[in-house]
Structure 1
Amino acid sequence: MKKLLFILGVTSTIAFTSCEDMFTPSIENFLDIETAYTRPLYAQGILLNGYNRVPTNSWSFNDVATDDAVTNDRASNYLKIATGQWTAMNNPLEQWRNSRSAIQYINNFLSIQDKVEWSSSAPINSMFNDRMKGEALGLRALFMFHLLQTHAGKTSSGEVLGIPIVLEYETSESDFNKPRATFEECMQQIYADLDKADELLPLDFEDISNASQIPAKYQSLGVNLTDYNQVFGEKFRLRMTKRISQAIRAKAALLAASPAFNDGNTAKWEQAANYAGNVIQQKGGISGVDPQGALFYLPASVNQMESGRNTAEIIWRVDRGDLSSSLEADHFPPTLFGRGRLNPTQNLVDAFPMANGYPINDAASGYNANSPYDNRDPRLKNYILVNGSTSGVNNTAINTAVNSPTNDGLNKVETSTRTGYYMRKLLRQDVNLNPSNVSGQYHVTPRLRMTEIYLAYAEAANEAWGPTGRGSFSFSAYDIIKAIRTRAGVGTTNGDPYLEQVKNNKDQMRQLIRNERRLELCFEGFRFWDLRRWNENLTIPAQGISIENNTYNVITVENRVFEPYMQYGPIPYSEILKYNNLQQNNGW
């Protein structure tokens, strides 16, 4: 009996202790915003929420929604877009929540950053404050660009609207029912944020070796070399810089100058050319073109990018992170233990010219339909795994024919190619997916590449000044395209006569520039947006190749279903329901 009472007593004690815990809340690990004033890492964490939300932190592969690729992943959201199954209630490309959330964090940071004690040293505190503000403003402009790219468009009245401009941290007392600003007003806000960011940020985060390199405003505060490098030195590589801010300005200006948002105003093309040209000029002009820039994803380039360093090609990128093999697991063909997810189309393959520079449909090209991959632009086999190519650590031959003895063949199994091609670009061939010996490698995911800026300049300069016009620069659209094609190995043995032919015709040069952009930036998430800003045909069917007994037959793999209004994306329907001041884009 005593033993029983003892047990009941212990049980009661435990029970009452548990009840006490239930009714007395534990100390929570929530900090109020004022805590950030004396805890700079906490304040910086608010800003880092912006970096974490940059849409290009990973690959989207929205090429699947264009004429460049299809996928064997039947659950792909981009497949749904390609086949017309996206709505204002279900938009896989939606940036409204992500980018507006990022802007909310950034506005929160901007509302407190002047009160944060970044350092006990007044001069160092001033430098940190400037730098953090510059980063925040550059990021806010970037997120506004992504919102415009995804959600700007024409309303039923024909007016081109952007997004609501929100520059203050919103609280529960704020007015959330704000109308969309005009597209032009949004562009001016982007430029204003970037102009201020330019004033506050260094061109790059690198240590300087001479005190004379310290900006005058900081020299007047008595800042020494060590102090300056502590704030603006190499430890902060991969964060927002003046060079990145300038590249974002060029990217945004190209969108604004494009036909979808510009009614033929040449001044906008000139502005876009000037912004891109400034970035190129700071990189040394034509001579600054990285010889290996088109192969930035291969070991020779990736292995250089340690400790935050970049090659000449990369303006801004995501950190390499740990050794990985997930990209290859998704996209290697089945014989290499991959899922073969993204399948380049025959449309894209046909866009690669011959090595002599001529398009394959030109009589001077020498194209042979019975040997379609011979004597082609070297980028074709660098970027696309064609029938007979070798791949992987063991140089395995890939057979994509209908009667292939392996699962790499056309439509063999659910992880086989649907087009007769597999993606090669971005993948490390030294990744081994064999279950008995899996090994990963470092990868680089660029947020901004110089090649994008070169092509932005070429496009804008051609529209503003013609193929050989240079504005205030030492290079023209023609010069840029020649450098890009020479780097690729196109027209190098014959002087590239096709380029020489089109350099005298603005319309023909426009088509060549657009095609070079298609090739150079394939699988990097550009074509979906490019087709829309160019007002191009979105309904061209995705084609493939059926190979049997050395006979090549082009096949239709997937029809594209786009209504005209889908040139612009929708405002989320849930937002339209909540706020009557928001206007929807026409058709949605």
Structure 2
Amino acid sequence: MKKLLFILGVTSTITFTSCEDMFTPAIENILDIETAYERPLYAQGLLLNGYNRVPTNSWSFNDVATDDAVTNDRASNFLKIATGQWTAMNNPLEQWRNSRSAIQYLNNFLSINDKVAWASSPAVTTMFNDRMKGEAHGLRALFMYHLLQTHGGKTSSGEILGIPIVLEHETLDSDFNKPRATFEESLQQIYSDLQKAEEYLPLDFEDITNASQIPTKYQSLNITLTDYNRVFGEHFRLRISKRITQAIRAKVALLAASPAFNSGNAAKWEEAANFAGLVIQQKGGATGIDAQGALFYQSGSVNQMTEGKNTSEILWRVDRGDVSSSLEADHFPPTLFGRGRINPTQNLVEAFPMSNGYPIHAENSGFNTNNPYENRDPRLKNYILVNGGTAGVNNTAINTALNSPTNDGLNKVETSTRTGFYMRKLLRQDVNLNPSSVSGQYHITPRLRMTEIYLAYAEAANEAWGPTGRGSFTFSAYDIIKAIRMRAGVGTTNGDPYLEQVKNDKDQMRQLIRNERRLELCFEGFRFWDLRRWNENFTLPAQGISIENNTHNIITVENRVFEPYMQYGPIPYSEILKYSNLQQNNGW
């Protein structure tokens, strides 16, 4: 049976107008795989399918399944996870089908790419082939990471398994009954793919200005400056690059070093620190941090990112597309014509320190229970809409109190907040949802941010070398956290005495780093995976605040239901039924 590349015709409505229509097969627009050899756009479609399936192409808001948020959307799949309605047959976090499908397309691409006539010039064809081969290996590694993060785990024997390693394009005659490799074998395969990707890809996709910058391996092909830029230039800025594969390696290594997958091997932490440190070093070290990086979603940053360009904060992102207002329509409060879907918890609000750097419950914090949102870490009001905060194009004051005269108040209507807070982060306040004058704005959805890499380094370096140890770098975990807190406006007027206190204690620094990660990456889909890899408690109730007559009362909004076996996600039950060699994670 011939392999198929793309089905260009879509089945249309069947009509019964004649015997010929009923019994004579129509000619279908189906291309043989061999057609792709002379039609590179079709071949590239296999690769682009991988880009289209990257899980971080859009926001997931799985924070709803953690202690950081709840939702007023009662049909939310993540609400089902939080409340115990999570099974191997109903797993909203499942990546088995999406990521394995992407790998199948990428394997298909890798099986044909050497045969494709990418250009009329053999030399240019060689460069195109190398570049897209590198992209395919990088993407395959990324999808294997998502599979490992989502489905790697302990079986009933206590062994930590990874995923089936599939490196060849599968056909109808293939053996699909493959066992899961060990976690370590899966990890090494990801590293292998990333290494291959780096061999083919440029550090960044940017035009070069001098022929001497053409890599040595292409100079012997008599490549011109125009030829090189045609393949590796700025037109491909949104494609996966060597720098991006290095950042992916840091993510993978952090997962592997974490308690859920690592039983005390300090070398794993050092490896993760080295991988993340390399990315940071190439970006200028601790002093290279983007001053506006924490507000990457606001106009000051978004407006710079035209023609595929990024700010120094953004490593990789989705094309910003057209102006839109859908994110704001989902998450603005009701008086701004939004649905208020994501409601940050009191748990998260309490995690933001005071502006002097002390946690709110510390002796020297100066926290005032009667005025709880003043003199706080500036990130609090940037990321969370608290009672009395302003939002929207007209800086409308939002009243979330129990006795609020508007529908923004606690549990007023089905689109009201359930916790006393609304999400502010990611939203463009210059979007107008008023039906009489709706106006959208550009938005940025990052796949990788430098802040994630800074925090990965801080976490790993602290475990490997302690708070102030630097390994082979010029910066420590302490240096990175200090730079992040200074950017946020924390401890800037008093030298951040709390940070100075904890830098002498590895355990205290660990908790501070984890808290900084919680704050900096909130609502970006990290908290759920972080709690799992840290073996942290998922059962803390989600709390809110009920404000009446200026009295603030903490309330329980939603109890969390997680069993111990849910520390690792399930393999889809349907796959377990089909394939006898596939072992399920314990408890599912």
Q: Give the TM-score taking structure 2 as reference length.
A: 0.97
Match of 1:287 in 2: 287
Q: Distance in 1 between matches of 2:370 and 2:22?
A: 78
Secondary structure in structure 1 of the residue aligned to 2:438: coil
Match of 1:178 in 2: 178
Superimposed CA distance per residue, residues 454-498 of structure 1 (whole angstroms, 9 cap, x where no aligned partner) = 000000000000000000000000000000000000000000000
Is the counterpart of residue 348 in structure 1 residue 368 in structure 2? no
Secondary structure in structure 2 of the residue aligned to 1:552: strand
C-alpha displacement of 1:380: 0.1
Secondary structure in structure 1 of the residue aligned to 2:31: coil
Match of 1:466 in 2: 466
C-alpha displacement of 1:16: 11
> Percent sequence identity over matched residues?
86
Which 5+ residue runs of structure 1 have no aligned equivalent? 1-14
Match of 2:125 in 1: 125
Secondary structure in structure 2 of the residue aligned to 1:287: helix
Give runs of aligned pairs for residues 18-29 of structure 1, distance below 5 A: 18-29=18-29
Give runs of aligned pairs for residues 36-185 of structure 1, distance below 5 A: 36-185=36-185
In structure 1, give the amino acid aligned to 2:317.
Answer: R
Secondary structure in structure 2 of the residue aligned to 1:546: strand
Match of 1:564 in 2: 564
Match of 1:435 in 2: 435
C-alpha displacement of 1:76: 0.4
Q: Distance in 1 between matches of 2:149 and 2:191?
A: 15
Match of 1:256 in 2: 256
Match of 1:418 in 2: 418
C-alpha displacement of 1:24: 3.0
In structure 2, give the amino acid aligned to 1:236.
Answer: F
Secondary structure in structure 1 of the residue aligned to 2:557: strand
Secondary structure in structure 2 of the residue aligned to 1:555: strand
Name the count of aligned residue pairs: 574
Secondary structure in structure 2 of the residue aligned to 1:34: helix
Is the counterpart of residue 405 in structure 1 residue 405 in structure 2? yes
- Whose Rg is larger? 1
C-alpha displacement of 1:286: 1.3
The answer (yes or no) to whether the contact 2:270–2:460 under 8 Å persists in 1 is yes
Q: Distance in 1 between matches of 2:264 and 2:238?
A: 37
Secondary structure in structure 1 of the residue aligned to 2:227: helix
In structure 1, give the amino acid aligned to 2:56.
Answer: T
C-alpha displacement of 1:237: 1.1
In structure 2, give the amino acid aligned to 1:547.
Answer: I
Between stretches 265-274 and 25-34, larger displacement belongs to 25-34
Secondary structure in structure 1 of the residue aligned to 2:545: strand
Match of 1:395 in 2: 395
Superimposed CA distance per residue, residues 212-261 of structure 1 (whole angstroms, 9 cap, x where no aligned partner) = 11000000111110000000000111001001100000000000000000
Q: Distance in 2 between matches of 1:17 and 1:566?
A: 56
In structure 1, give the amino acid aligned to 2:58.
Answer: S
Superimposed CA distance per residue, residues 422-441 of structure 1 (whole angstroms, 9 cap, x where no aligned partner) = 00000000101011111111
In structure 2, give the amino acid aligned to 1:117.
Answer: A
C-alpha displacement of 1:541: 0.4
Q: Distance in 2 between matches of 1:16 and 1:566?
A: 53
Q: Distance in 2 between matches of 1:150 and 1:430?
A: 36
Match of 2:511 in 1: 511
Q: Distance in 2 between matches of 1:36 and 1:19?
A: 36
Match of 1:9 in 2: none
Q: Distance in 2 between matches of 1:446 and 1:422?
A: 22
Match of 1:480 in 2: 480
Secondary structure in structure 1 of the residue aligned to 2:547: strand
Q: Distance in 1 between matches of 2:18 and 2:392?
A: 59
Residues 361 and 41 (structure 1), Cα distance of their counterparts in 2 relative to 1, 3 Å cut: same
Residues 373 and 17 (structure 1), Cα distance of their counterparts in 2 relative to 1, 3 Å cut: closer
C-alpha displacement of 1:19: 3.2
Q: Distance in 1 between matches of 2:227 and 2:49?
A: 27
In structure 2, give the amino acid aligned to 1:186.
Answer: S
Q: Distance in 2 between matches of 1:69 and 1:16?
A: 54
Give runs of aligned pairs for residues 194-343 of structure 1, distance below 5 A: 194-343=194-343
Superimposed CA distance per residue, residues 159-209 of structure 1 (whole angstroms, 9 cap, x where no aligned partner) = 000010000000000000000000000000000000010010001110000
Is the counterpart of residue 547 in structure 1 residue 562 in structure 2? no
C-alpha displacement of 1:27: 2.4
Match of 2:491 in 1: 491
Match of 2:586 in 1: 586
The answer (yes or no) to whether the contact 2:355–2:490 under 8 Å persists in 1 is yes
Secondary structure in structure 1 of the residue aligned to 2:30: coil
Match of 2:386 in 1: 386
Superimposed CA distance per residue, residues 380-436 of structure 1 (whole angstroms, 9 cap, x where no aligned partner) = 000000000010011111000000000000000000000000000000001010111
In structure 1, give the amino acid aligned to 2:61.
Answer: F
C-alpha displacement of 1:569: 0.2
C-alpha displacement of 1:26: 2.8
C-alpha displacement of 1:531: 0.2
In structure 1, give the amino acid aligned to 2:362.
Answer: D
In structure 1, give the amino acid aligned to 2:406.
Answer: T
Q: Give the TM-score taking structure 1 as reference length.
A: 0.97
C-alpha displacement of 1:288: 1.2
Match of 2:455 in 1: 455
Secondary structure in structure 1 of the residue aligned to 2:172: coil
Which 5+ residue runs of structure 2 have no aligned equivalent? 1-14
The answer (yes or no) to whether the contact 2:16–2:22 under 8 Å persists in 1 is no
Residues 16 and 130 (structure 1), Cα distance of their counterparts in 2 relative to 1, 3 Å cut: closer
Q: Distance in 2 between matches of 1:27 and 1:466?
A: 68
Q: Distance in 1 between matches of 2:237 and 2:450?
A: 17
Between stretches 24-33 and 399-408, larger displacement belongs to 24-33
In structure 2, give the amino acid aligned to 1:258.
Answer: S
C-alpha displacement of 1:29: 1.2
In structure 2, give the amino acid aligned to 1:205.
Answer: F
Supply the RMSD in Å over aligned alpha carbons.
1.0
Q: Distance in 1 between matches of 2:371 and 2:22?
A: 76
In structure 2, give the amino acid aligned to 1:164.
Answer: P
In structure 2, give the amino acid aligned to 1:344.
Answer: P
Q: Distance in 2 between matches of 1:271 and 1:16?
A: 66
Secondary structure in structure 2 of the residue aligned to 1:31: strand
The answer (yes or no) to whether the contact 2:66–2:527 under 8 Å persists in 1 is yes
Match of 1:6 in 2: none
Q: Distance in 2 between matches of 1:335 and 1:397?
A: 10
Q: Distance in 2 between matches of 1:541 and 1:264?
A: 30
Q: Distance in 2 between matches of 1:202 and 1:284?
A: 19
In structure 2, give the amino acid aligned to 1:176.
Answer: F
Q: Distance in 2 between matches of 1:508 and 1:68?
A: 21
Residues 455 and 16 (structure 1), Cα distance of their counterparts in 2 relative to 1, 3 Å cut: closer
Q: Distance in 2 between matches of 1:468 and 1:225?
A: 45
C-alpha displacement of 1:17: 8.5
Secondary structure in structure 1 of the residue aligned to 2:448: strand
Q: Distance in 2 between matches of 1:225 and 1:61?
A: 44
